[in-house]
Structure 1
Amino acid sequence: MKPAGRTFIISGGCSGLGLATARDLHQAGAYVVLLDRNEDAGHAAIKELGEEKAKFLQADVTETSSIKAAIKSTVEWIQQTGAALGGVVAAAGIAFPGKVYNARTNSPVSMSSVDAVMTVNVRGTIDLVRLAVPHLINNTPFTADGERGVLILVASSAAFDGQPGQLAYSASKGAIVSMTLPLARDLARYGIRVVTIAPSLFESEMTRNLSAKARESLERVMEFPVRAGKPEEFSSLVMHSISNSMLNGTVLRLDGAMRMPSKM
């Protein structure tokens, strides 16, 4: 499927991996709808991309009503532009580090932090996808194979080799990995593909807060290249996943052969 002339919804679209994806899609001639809670970042992104083929919608993926409103606004915009919904990139995500037991405070991990991570990363992804899918199903097929759209999910290498303190984050990203195949099987009859990308350490809002000690620990186990991934390296894989129809029901590790260490 070619992205040009299609509309793509990107959650977490105003920073990091989401914004890099929006830039590449926009450059390829696609219309992009950026969902984000950060209004200032949203206005900055639209100022950069221009209003003709980019739209910012302030949305919170933890609230169904907020997603529904964003989908409604997207559909109304599509009716104006004539650019059918081509897919969703579910890039919104958070991480609250915390071991299951904290010896210093003699207390278990806070369930409020676990709930927050699971709500954004898992529930938010499923909710966005399920509300967008009916609009993809209604598309006239884009290709001779009958393709009607693509869903790009974002997991993490932590789904496979999570570190101490990544209990909730690894669980949430493991859920994204596990839902990939059944989601693809659910939607195969409609010509909708599902691809999950699992990046390792990438330059993003989330990793910017890492301590120097944590970053050095991760760099020691990098194979090649010995650096954090760049957002545009992530977005280039998104672009390939959109255009390559044989990518479906699969999880693509994007990690330069890096495996997370068990100790910092």
Structure 2
Amino acid sequence: MPARTSAATVGVTVVTVGVAGVTSYVYTSAPATPVAPTATAGVTSATVTWVAPASNGSTITGYLVTPIRNGVAQTPVSFDASTTTRTLTGLTAAASYTFTVAAVNAVGTGAASPASAAVVPYALPAAPTITAVSAGSTSANLSWTAPASNGSAITGYVVTPYIGGVAQTAQTFTSTATTQSITGLTGGTTYTFRVAAINAAGTGPQSAASSAVTINASPGLALPAPPLGEVGAAYTDQFTVTGGTSPFTWSISS
């Protein structure tokens, strides 16, 4: 058959012993090249979407999607032709990926598309490291180092107080500050603390436990009825502090 540059239907005329017959014939070839796909990062994954190219006379039966990690092509992944949106899993968190797509039909595999824009798959953040803890009055001040974000920016932290190894109500901070005041604690009670970071993938693993601190109770005064006063006589009364943590500072408020 004479060569053609496209997969179009042509008429074929055969003449033999003065009798002509006409039939049709479709030239086929591998599918056309898709346009560049789009990609969206996920948790150690990416969702790739593309537009089906021209089939060039033979129905498209599948696609080859090639991940390109940090500029290096990885093993292509084969998909059937039932959809043009696919999720590739098992990608490396915090690495940069682009993707190309090639269509397949009975003739063969077409040329790969241009690469998608780069995306960065992500994972849960790593565990923070607690660096300091100190007791306040029904509170504690806690400091830690920010962990590896693993491809998605850290958006906050979860601090869990423990009493005797038993987890208490966690406190969530939407700030990315790595020093926070943990409030609502019980004076005179000994606590340890663990911190976990939050990113788009969720809440990561907890840190190791902090050192133990005993929360200061607010001081009070024991005030029994004072002795009766007498005109012209020396007068004294003894105040006794309750709770709190020494040393104490005394002052007259009125």
TM-score above 0.5, yes or no: no
Q: Normalising by the residue count of structure 2, what TM-score does the alignment of the two structures yield?
A: 0.23
* Higher RCO, Cα 8 Å, sep 6+: 1
Q: Larger helix proportion, structure 1 or 2? A: 1
Structure 1 or 2, whichever has the larger Rg, is: 2
Q: Normalising by the residue count of structure 1, what TM-score does the alignment of the two structures yield?
A: 0.23
Q: Larger strand proportion, structure 1 or 2? A: 2
